[in-house]
Amino acid sequence: MPGCLKIKDVHVTFEAGTINENHVLKGIDFEADASDFITVIGGNGAGKSTLLNTIAGVYEADAGHIEIDEIDVTRTPEHKRAKLIGRVFQDPKMGTATRMTIEENLAIATKRGQKRGLRFGLSAADREFYKEQVALLDLGLEDRMTMDMGLLSGGQRQAITLLMATIVEPKLLLLDEHTAALDPKTAEQVLGLTQKLVTEKKLTTFMITHNMQDALRYGNRLIMLHNGKIVVDLKGEEKKLATMEDLMQLFRQNSQTELKDDALLLS
């Protein structure tokens, strides 16, 4: 099904009309198909995080339109878009309740987009379901379901956060450099889990990364931003076969500049 995410001529400017005016997104046009796993890369200030936050509703577009699952969300506030979106942040401490248990966090996640009353409780069936889901992560946490989230390691917490973001399958999964704060070995484990969940659930996914190799390794589509515009868009076989050298050449060709971001070049 085409058109799961449509972005049409989106502009975002911060502090408009002042001496500090910053036109960050400059007419972004983009359309993702259902089940696309898109990696997003670009240098510092390219507009990656601003684009993701505009999709999520944190920032409102000055111009243009955004559709998720054929619903126009351009002027829809962030809390109302949440029923369509699953999100994992860069900081493992975000997106979870530190002083609540693993199973309690999962219980909250299953209520995304639903009206909530004053009652909160976990049935035996709920607990068994959450235990089964956590066991699929293969981290040995299924026997520690009553442990507070704050006691988990960064990698364990991101894995649970991923599960929370996808336990009720979202129309769109947003991953905001969700492995950047982890050590390389743990980051690789979380990325492997990401690939597993996205593939098995056929989730349309938008993953920002600072690592060029990861951008090429994961997903079926890659976009690269520069100065608020998409300068590279690789799909399918072209993306699968691309190398870092190919990506650098395309960037130079389409942006008429050299990539100077050390975080990308040294990753």
Q: Could you state, in chain order, the average pLDDT of each consecutive group of 10 residues for the chain (267 residues)?
A: 81 94 95 94 91 96 95 94 93 88 92 59 87 92 94 94 94 94 91 94 94 93 95 94 91 80 55
Output the pLDDT for position 263.
Answer: 54
- Amino acid at residue number 219: G
Structural domain harbouring 61 = 5-266
**What local confidence, expressed as pLDDT, does residue 124 receive?**
87
Number of folded domains in the chain?
1
Q: What's at 94, amino acid-wise? A: M
Cβ-based neighbour number of residue 186 at 10 Å: 18
> Strands 205-208 and 22-32, how do they pair?
unpaired
The enclosing domain of 254 has a CATH number of 3.40.50.300
Contact 152, 96 (CB under 8 A): no
Phi, psi of 254 (to 5 degrees): -90, -25
- What pairs with residue 12 in β-bridges? 25
At residue 137, what is the residue type? L
- Residue type present at position 77: P
What span, in angstroms and rounded, lies between the C-alpha atoms of 64 and 219?
A: 27
C-alpha distances out from residue 46 to 52, 73, 90, 177, 210, Å: 12, 23, 17, 14, 11
pLDDT at position 118? 42
pLDDT of residue 264: 63
Q: What pLDDT is recorded for position 1?
A: 46
Q: Which residues pair with 208 in a beta bridge?
A: 40, 176
Q: Specify which residues 127 forms β-bridges with.
A: none
